[in-house]
């Protein structure tokens, strides 16, 4: 595949475990996501090593700070050569605009809207009284106005986001669980095939791959499920 739709979440505490998994996967079938814990432990060297093995990297650090600080962090991520990086849409319009200006190359810039682990009670507790979909739509609108490439969202919000912002606005969807996998701690989930049908562009998959006895076979099984 020239543009793999699956992004495997390397949610490991130790860099060597991430490297071990990468050795079992095919970069033609997936990309890899490096999050906060793994990047804090493995740093840029880990990202470079994974890239040298042929994988595109989604650097999932959800930058959320004053505009100048976020812009400088994104410039550093771009220099690292990552395929995709993200910020948090709750940073507001000025931060999102500064983030967009900081990315001058091919690195994709997307925004996090509402985490898929958050339910109505948690949203209300932090002062977001609307339901998840309305909050996602509002935050995605800020990202779209700032010129970002897309957003992280639940696949359940994908149809409305595509209708509102168009096919070019790319949707990255965590909370993806194959029909044969456990639900885990996500509250808004969807199968890979259903998520793509709903309008998702890229699917983030974690434990169904990382905890499989044969990760490559699990990856191939997801591709078969999509087909």
- Write down the catalytic residue from 26, 65, 72, 194: 65
192 known member of a binding site: no
Query: Binding residue per annotation — 186?
Result: yes
**Is 58 part of any known ligand binding site?**
no
Q: Which two tokens stand for residue 211?
A: 């905890």
177 assigned binding-site residue: yes
The residue whose two tokens read 């639940």 is: 154
User: What count of other Cβ atoms lies within 10 Å of the Cβ of residue 55?
Assistant: 23
**3 phi, psi to nearest 5 deg:** -140, 80
Judge whether 60 counts as a catalytic residue. yes
Q: Supply angle C-alpha 214, 194, 35, rounded to 5.
A: 55
Asked if residue 20 belongs to a known ligand binding site, the reply is no
Tokens linked to 16: 């060597």
Q: Does the annotation place 33 within a ligand binding site?
A: yes
Active site residue 56: no
Q: Give me the count of residues in the chain.
A: 227
* Residue 223 annotated as part of some ligand binding site: no
51 is in an annotated binding site: no
From the list 3, 7, 5, 1, the residue with the least C-alpha distance to 209 is 7
Determine how β-strand 30-34 pairs with β-strand 57-63: parallel
C-alpha torsion sign, points 161, 162, 168, 171: positive
- 83: phi then psi, degrees, rounded to nearest 5: -75, -40
- 119-152 per-residue burial string, b: 16 or more CB within 10 A, e: under 16: eeeebeeeebeeebbebbbebbbbbbebebbbbb
- Does residue 65 have an active-site annotation? yes
Q: Which of 62, 149, 162, 201 is catalytic?
A: 62
Q: 62: annotated binding-site residue?
A: yes
- 63 annotated ligand-binding residue: yes
- Does the annotation list 28 as a binding residue? no
Annotated catalytic residue, options 60, 108, 149, 201: 60
Answer whether 123's CB lies under 8 Å from 114's CB: yes
Give the active site residues.
60, 62, 65
Which amino acids are annotated as binding site for substrate, given as ranges? Answer: 11, 33, 60-69, 116, 177, 186, 206-207
Which amino acids are annotated as binding site, given as ranges? Answer: 11, 33, 60-69, 116, 177, 186, 206-207
């Amino acid at each position: 595949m020239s543009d793999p739709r699956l992004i495997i979440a390397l949610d490991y505490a130790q860099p060597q475990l991430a490297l071990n998994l990468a050795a079992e996967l095919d970069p033609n079938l997936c990309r890899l996501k490096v999050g906060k814990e793994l990047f804090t432990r493995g740093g840029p060297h880990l990202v470079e090593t994974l890239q040298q093995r042929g994988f595109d990297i989604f650097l999932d650090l959800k930058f959320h700070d004053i505009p100048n600080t976020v812009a400088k962090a994104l410039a550093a991520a771009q220099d690292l050569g990552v395929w995709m990086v993200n910020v948090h849409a709750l940073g507001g319009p000025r931060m999102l605009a500064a983030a967009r200006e900081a990315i001058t190359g091919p690195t994709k810039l997307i925004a996090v809207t509402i985490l898929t682990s958050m339910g109505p009670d948690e949203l209300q507790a932090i002062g977001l009284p609307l339901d998840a979909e309305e909050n996602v739509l509002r935050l995605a609108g800020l990202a779209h106005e700032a010129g970002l490439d897309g957003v992280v969202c639940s696949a359940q919000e994908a149809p409305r986001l595509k209708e509102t912002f168009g096919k070019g606005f790319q949707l990255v969807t965590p909370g993806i669980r194959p029909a044969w996998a456990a639900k885990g701690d996500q509250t808004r989930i969807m199968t890979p095939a259903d998520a793509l049908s709903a309008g998702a562009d890229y699917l983030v998959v974690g434990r169904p791959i990382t905890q499989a006895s044969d990760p490559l076979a699990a990856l191939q099984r997801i591709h078969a499920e999509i087909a």
